[in-house]
Amino acid sequence: MRKLVLLAIVGLAAQLVDGSLGMAYGVTSTTLLLATGVTPAAASATVHLAEIGTTLASGASHWRFGNVDWKVVGRIAVPGAIGSFAGATFLSSLSTDAAAPVMSGILLALGIYILIRFTAWGTPRGQLGKPIRATFLAPLGIFAGFVDSTGGGGWGPVATPALLASGRMEPRRVIGSVDTSEFVVSVAASLGFLIGLGGAGIPLGAVAALLVGGLVAAPIAAWLVRLLPGRILGSLVGGVIVLTNVRTILKSDLVDAAAGTRSVAYVIIAVLWAGAVAWSLRAYRAEKAELDAEVEESAPVAA
């Protein structure tokens, strides 16, 4: 029972971050499920089954707050579903021993990307309002969907930064559109896992716990997306993912690092992580001060 309550809290926290940042629900939840001993394919299947409900609620909430561009959703969701189904089928065919380091490696790469991306550059703006071509969205959807299934998460970490980097959509619309389209991706991934695994080994209690936590957080996150600094959240979440998956890899049979080596690695990562968060906080404050100064300069002078 205590484990299910913890998973519900994890689902709530992960959805708060995902709904505010446009990524990290799957990566965060899968990382923690792997740490509890769930097999890679079952972990990804668990998260995607829970995401059917959480992404539906998140999409509805984002739509309510005007955060969704339905043209982008239509052009990226179907290719994403194709890639996600293919990735789920691929992961289901791997043995547990082979899949564990593969998934942790993918999650580690995504975590490093999230950490660096948001620490160094934050959320870019520019060229707002220009259309995004289907020739860009379709390949992006296929790739992001495949990574999402094989890594237990990755739709947001791949799709959100790519759309943000284009500078053609407001960050809140990028996040809302990615979260909304993820419903279709989650359904396709779940079908792939159910066909590949036949439901065996999927902890339904964990699915329910993650779902409950995510449903509670979804409307809150859609509202908070306008208030919370994504740059700081990105650094925090990226560090958690990196630290947890380095631990999994170092303790795997493939590496089997000594306890002393693992401790040194954890300390180094913790120091770098703290530095990244501090850098993000400083950069956010500087950006905010610059924006406030611009607003003050443009304000009309009282007679």
139 or 93, greater pLDDT: 139
Q: What is the rounded distance in angstroms from the CA atom of residue 170 to the CA atom of residue 177?
A: 11
Look at residues 233, 298, 248 and name the one whose alpha carbon lies nearest to residue 19: 233
**pLDDT at residue 124 greater than cutoff 60:** no
Q: State residue 184's pLDDT score.
A: 92
161 or 185, greater pLDDT: 185
In this prediction, residue 278 has a pLDDT band, given cuts at 50, 70 and 90, of very high
Q: Output the pTM of the full model.
A: 0.66
Q: State residue 81's pLDDT score.
A: 93
Look at residues 174, 183, 273 and name the one whose alpha carbon lies nearest to residue 230: 174
Mean per-residue pLDDT, 160-164: 73
**pLDDT at residue 272 greater than cutoff 80:** yes
127-146: pLDDT as tens digits: 555 667 878 899 989 988 88
249 or 233, greater pLDDT: 249
**pLDDT at residue 169 greater than cutoff 80:** no
Sequence-separated (6 or more) residues with CB below 8 Å from residue 206: 4, 7, 33, 38, 46, 50
Mean per-residue pLDDT, 36-51: 77
Cα atoms in the Cβ-side hemisphere of radius 13 Å centred on 127: 10
**pLDDT at residue 11 greater than cutoff 60:** yes
Sequence-separated (6 or more) residues with CB below 8 Å from residue 67: 172, 173, 175, 176, 177, 222, 225
202-226: pLDDT as tens digits: 667 777 777 777 777 767 766 665 5
Running DSSP on this structure, what letter comes out for residue 302?
P
Q: What is the rounded distance in angstroms from the CA atom of residue 50 to the CA atom of residue 203?
A: 11
